[in-house]
Every structure is written in C-alpha cells, then in structure tokens.
Amino acid sequence: MSQTTPPAGSSTRGASRYDDTLALNDIHAVITSPTLTDAAMDALQAITQIVVRTGRNPYPSRIMSATVEDGPHGIPVACIDAEGTIITIGQDPAGPGIRIDVTPRDPADEAALVIAVSDRIVNRALLPGLRPARPESGGQP
C-alpha cells in the first residue's frame, strides 16, 4: 500500500476503541477506493490491517456441534465435537461430581488446549516449538 493513504480509522482515533462499525467503514473505503480497483493484494493487505486493529482473533472459528445422549451407565452425557477434538461432560460414574473428558484429535490440538475452571486456567496452550516444563523432582540437593 505504498501509493495509497491508510484508511481514516488507522491512526486518527487516538485512545478511542476501534470497533466493528469503524472497521466496516474503513473496509468500505478500501473496497470503493479508485486507487485500489486493480490492486487486489494491496486491498487485501489493507483489509487485513483493519481486522487486526479491531483486536479480533485472527484464527478461523472451529465448527462445533453438541449432542446429549445416554451414556453407558444410563446417565445423560453431553458431547461436543470441535472439528475432531471431542469433549464429553457428564456425571462421574464413581460419584456425584461432574466429569469432563477432552480427547484432542492430534498433538497440535492438544498443544493448543486452554482449559479454565471458574476463570482459573488449569491448562495453558503451548506456543509452537515449546515443550511443557518438567516437574521438579522435589528432593533437596
């Protein structure tokens, strides 16, 4: 986008929140700009920068489906399929508590898992290339 000026919302808004309405206005300005009619890559780059400024997650949403069925013990079990990563939720067959099982479809999905209980993260996603820290041996040197 070296030959065009950035959309109006890019730096003139200061500390105000860059919301969806402002982003849509800026995307509309990019799409209807006469200087970008034949420069599809420049327009795509400008739109990408606009979306990033909104703070939205850059990752595509997973398709999820949920069902409730009777489990093997005759107790209802909720099942969520998040594109192959399966989450089942039901009463623990060994007691009155709730049991949640997560079965990732592959190691990449397992590394991307974030699990929280009452806003307390109990499993954090691993960044690509990092391995979980090994637990300390607990003994004194």
Q: Cα–Cα distance between 129 and 126 in angstroms, integer?
A: 8
- Over the chain, what is the mean pLDDT? 78
Residue 5 pLDDT > 50, yes or no?
no
Locate 31 and state its tokens: 């799409």
Q: Is the per-residue pLDDT at 6 higher than 70?
A: no
Q: Is the pTM of this model over 0.75?
A: no
The number of helices, as runs of H, and strands, as runs of E, in the chain is: 3, 6
Report residue 5: phi and psi, to 5°: -85, 150
pLDDT band at 134 (very low <50, low <70, confident <90, very high): very low
Q: What DSSP letter does each residue of 12-37 carry, written as one string? A: TTTTS---HHHHHHHHHHHHT-GGGT
- Phi-psi category of 41—alpha, beta or left, where left has phi over 0 and alpha has psi -120 to 50? alpha
pLDDT digits (tens, 9 = 90+) for 52-106: 888 877 677 889 999 999 888 788 999 999 998 999 999 988 889 999 999 998 8
Given pLDDT bands bounded at 50, 70 and 90, which one contains residue 33?
confident
